[in-house]
Amino acid sequence: MSFDYEACQDAAQYLRLSREQIIANQTQKPDGKKYVWFPDKENAYVKGELIKTDKGKCTIKACDGGKEMTVKEDDLQEMNPPRYEKCEDMAGMTFLNEASVLNNLRSRYESFMIYTYSGLFCVTVNPYKMLPVYAPYVISAYKGKRRTEMPPHLYSIADNAYTEMLMNRENQSMLITGESGAGKTVNTKKVIQYFALVAAFGGSQDDGKGTLEDQIVQCNPAMEAFGNAKTVRNDNSSRFGKFIRIHFGSTGLLASGDIEHYLLEKSRVIYQQEGERNYHIFYQIISGSKPELIDQLLVTKDPYDYRSISQGVVSVPSMDDGAELLLTDDAFRVLGFNQEEISGIYRLMAGIMHQQNMKFKNKQREEQAEPDGTEDADKVAYLFGLNSADFIKYLCHPRVKVGNEYVTKGQSCNQVSYGIGALSKGLFGRHFDWLVKLINQTLSTKLPRSFFIGVLDIAGFEIFDSNSFEQLCINFTNEKLQQFFNHHMFVLEQEEYKKEGIDWVFIDFGMDLAACIELIEKPLGIMSILEEECMFPKASDDTFKDKLYQNHLGKSKAFGKPVKKTKYEAHFELYHYAGTVQYNICGWLEKNKDPLNNSVVDLYKKASMKLMQTIWEGYTSPEEAASGGGGKGGKRKKGGSFMTIERRLKEEEQANTNLSKYRKLQHELDDAEERAEMAESQLNKMRSKARDTKGEK
C-alpha cells in the first residue's frame, strides 16, 4: 500500500490503521477456538465461542463472560479471521454476512474511521463531529490517485468520477443517499468543494464577484439558510432536494454550475413539531450579529415574540445563528447579489414573521373576522411596500369570481388564519425558487462546457412520531430513487452476467419496492385518490380516509391500518423498504391544493418592494387560468401556480425524464460532431499528403 501517512498529517489516524496495527492483524495466530456471531436484543449481534452443535442446536458461550446458552444453528453467523479487523473493503471479507458488516462498521466508527468501502459503494457513518479528514492537504493526497492506492474516502469517489469523466469523455453522477441525519448534506458540500479545488479555473467572472470556484462553494451556505432546519434527527437537515451539476471544459477546468431543486417543505414556515425549528434564516436575522437589521426589520431578538418560529425549539447547541448570518451574508456578496436584493431578502423573511403574528377576532354576533390590532399588519405593509388598510381588507374580505362577476366574500377568523399561513408558505416557496434561479444565473458563464458531474442530495427517508403529507412525498421519492438504484446497480448487472454466459440465479431486487410504489402512484392509488378528492367541494379528511380503506385495506400488501399505538394519531401505515411508517392525513387536501388569497396576491404583485414584484411575476390565479388568463386568443392558460402539489410532482418527474432524454441525445450529437470533425481532419491530411506525393512525382 502506497498510503503516505505523513502527507495526511493528523487526518491519517481517521483514514487507515497504523502500520503496526495492520501488521498485528495480519500476523495474529488463531487460538484454536471457533467463534461465531449470535443475535442479541440490545447489540444486534454478539461474539460467542461455539462449544458444540447437535441436531440443529448450538451451545455457545458469550465472549464477554456470559453464560452458556443454546440457540438455533440457523441463527448463527460466521465470524471472519482477525486479519479482517476494521477492513477497508467489506466485499473482500471471507464471510460477508449482516453481523460481520455491522461489526466492521461499528469497530471502524469507534476509531472514527467513518468511510468504508463495500465493493462499488462508499458507506459513511455520521460521527456528529467535524474530523480533520477534509483538510486541503487530504485533498492533495487523494488528487489523481487510484481508488486502490488510498484508504476509503468520499474524495476518492469524487476523484475517480472526475478521472472517468476526462478519460471516457462522459458525464458522471454521484448519488448520496441515506436516512435523515445520515450526513448527506455535509458529504454533498465536501464533494462540491473537492471539484471546486481540483478543477479551479482561477478567474473572477465579473468585478465585485468571487471566482467561479468560490461561487460554487458559496451556493451551499446561501441555500442552507433558507432550505435547512433542525429536526428531531438532525440539527441541519435539508428540507428540500437538490441536483447540482458542475460543468467542466474539455480540459477538465470548471466552466459553470447549475442547481435543480425539489420538494421544499413549505409547511415548516408556519408550523414545527416538538423538538424542531423553522428554517435557519429566521433565527439568523434576529441574532443581533448585524445590529442594523433589528431596526430595519422592526424585529426583536427574542424568538418567542414570533409564533411561527417558536413552536418547537429556538436554538441549536451545535449552531451559532449570529455567525451563520455573517456566513450567509458573505455568500450573497460572493455570489454577486446587489444590496437591493440582499435587503429585499431580509425584509421578506421578517415580513413573514410579522404576518404570522397578526391577530383577528370575530365581530359581535357575526362569524366575520376583523383585525385585533393593526401593529403587525402595519409592519408587514412597511416591509413589503403595501397599503396596510387594503392588506387587512383583502385578508378579511377577499374578492372571488362568480361567473363573470367579482364579489366580496366574508371570512371567519379560522379562514383568515389559514389564508395567512398559505400566503406565508407561498411567499417563502416563490422566494426560494427565485433564489435558486438567481444563483444559477450567477454560476452561468460563457465558458465552453463539455461534460458535467452531477451530485444528487435529497431529503432522506423519514420515520417520525407524526408523519404527514410532506413525509409521504419525501419517502415516495426515496422509494423511487432506491428502485432506480437497484435496477441500475443490480438488475442490469445481472443481465450482463447472462450475456456473458455466467451461471447465475436471477434475483429481482426491485420487486421489494414495487408494491409500495404502485400503491402510491398507480391509478386509484394514494396520490390519485387525493387528487380526485381535491376536485370535490364537500370532500374532507374523513372521505379521503374512507376511500383509501375501501380501495386498499386488505387488498394491498403495502397498506395497513395502524396497530401500534403512539401519542400521535395515525390513520394508515405503509410498509416501505426502509420500514413501516404511520401517516396522519389531517389537512392533506388543503396541503395538496395549496390555495392562495388571490386578492392579497394582487397586492403583493403591485408592492413597491421590487423583490416582491419579481417573485410573483408570472403568477396566474385559478380564476384567470380558467377564463383564459390573458393568453392569446382567449385560450386557457396553464399556470403552475394553480396546480396541486401531486400534479406538480408528476410534471417535474416527467420534465426530468424528458430532460435526461434530451441531454442524452445532445451528448450523442456532440459525439457525432466530434467524430465528423476528426474524420474531416483526417481526410484533409490525406488530401494534403496526396498533393505532396503528386508534386514530388
- Is 224 annotated as belonging to a binding site? no
The residue among 119, 247, 222 whose CA lies nearest residue 171 is 247
The answer to whether the annotation marks 178 as part of a ligand binding site is yes
DSSP H helices, 28-117, are 98-110
List Cβ neighbours of 561 (8 Å cut-off, separation of 6 or more). Answer: 549, 553, 572, 573
Phi, psi of 122 (to 5 degrees): -115, 120
Instruction: Using CB atoms within 10 Å of the CB of residue 74, give its burial: 0 to 12 exposed, 13 to 18 middle, 19+ buried.
Output: exposed
| Pairwise CA distance, residues 404 & 386, whole Å | 28
**Strand partners of residue 454:** 173, 245
Q: How many residues does the chain have?
A: 697
Q: Pick the closest to residue 180 from 521, 487, 581, 557 (CA basis).
A: 581
Active site residues: 180-181, 185, 234, 237-238, 460, 462
Q: Report H helices in 18-72.
A: 19-27
Q: Binding site annotation covers 560? A: no
Residue in this structure with the C-alpha cell 490517485, named with its chain if needed: 145
For residues 454 and 171, is the Cβ–Cβ distance under 8 A? yes
73 annotated to a ligand binding site: no
CB atoms within 10 A of CB 431: 20
Helix axes 413-443, 212-227, angle to 10 degrees: 170
Was 388 annotated as part of a binding site?
no
DSSP at 211: B
Strand 172-176 versus strand 451-457 pairing type:
parallel
Q: What is the DSSP letter of 488?
A: I
H or E element that contains 574: strand 572-576
Q: Is 141 annotated as a binding residue?
A: no
**Residue 185 marked ligand-binding:** yes
Q: Which residues pair with 361 in a beta bridge?
A: 370
Cβ neighbours for 655, distance < 8 A, ≥ 6 positions apart: none
580 marked as binding residue? no
- Tell me, rounded to whole angstroms, the distance of Cα 511 from its chain centroid: 25
Annotated binding site for ATP: 178-185
Annotated binding-site residues read: 178-185
